[in-house]
């Protein structure tokens, strides 16, 4: 098992994430998250794999980034989660959506990384909005 030697060697960055459902103030469990990387603005994206958020809304087993990664993309498949929670219906003045709709069926976050640094990028999600930030 690795003990974080990646960050100390400076050879690659690492990424983690979690999702907080801001409508109910709780973690969003069971959301599929994918990870892709590229080594420069003009390079093609390489899919690295993915994970599901746990009961705490966290992905603890995202794949490692390859050396020379400069850009990372996290993809959050939010539709099934939002539809299952029927959160859109809970908002009295929210626009009506069909039971099978989610305003944001997916969220893609792309950011740059520096070798040796860790990037925690949380997603704050509700039926009609989201925000992200670099956490710690």
Q: Is 124 exposed, middle or buried (0-12, 13-18, 19+ CB in 10 A)?
A: middle
Tell me the pLDDT of the chain (136 aa) as tens digits: 333 433 434 578 999 999 999 999 999 999 999 999 999 999 999 999 999 999 999 998 999 999 999 999 999 999 999 988 764 455 555 555 555 578 899 999 999 999 999 999 999 999 899 999 999 8
Pick the CATH number of 5-77+108-119 from 3.40.50.720, 2.60.40.180, 3.40.50.1220, 3.40.50.1980: 2.60.40.180
pLDDT score at 4: 41
Q: Is 63 exposed, middle or buried (0-12, 13-18, 19+ CB in 10 A)?
A: middle
Question: How do the domains of the chain map onto residue ranges?
Answer: 5-77+108-119
Cα–Cα distance between 122 and 132 in angstroms, integer?
Answer: 6
**In 3D, which of 111, 120, 135, 108 has the Cα closest to residue 7?**
120
Q: What is the pTM of this model?
A: 0.82
């Amino acid at each position: 098992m690795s003990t974080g030697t990646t960050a100390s060697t400076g050879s690659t960055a690492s990424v983690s994430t979690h999702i907080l459902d801001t409508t109910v103030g709780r973690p969003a469990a069971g959301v599929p998250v994918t990870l892709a990387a590229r080594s420069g603005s003009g390079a093609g994206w390489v899919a690295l794999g993915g994970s599901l958020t746990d009961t705490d809304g966290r992905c603890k087993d995202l794949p490692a980034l390859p050396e020379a990664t400069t850009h990372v993309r996290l993809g959050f498949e939010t539709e099934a989660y939002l539809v299952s929670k029927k959160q859109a219906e809970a908002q009295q003045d929210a626009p009506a959506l069909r039971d099978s709709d989610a305003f944001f069926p997916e969220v893609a976050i792309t950011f740059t990384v520096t070798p040796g640094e860790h990037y925690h990028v949380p997603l704050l999600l509700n039926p009609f909005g989201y925000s992200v930030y670099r956490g710690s």
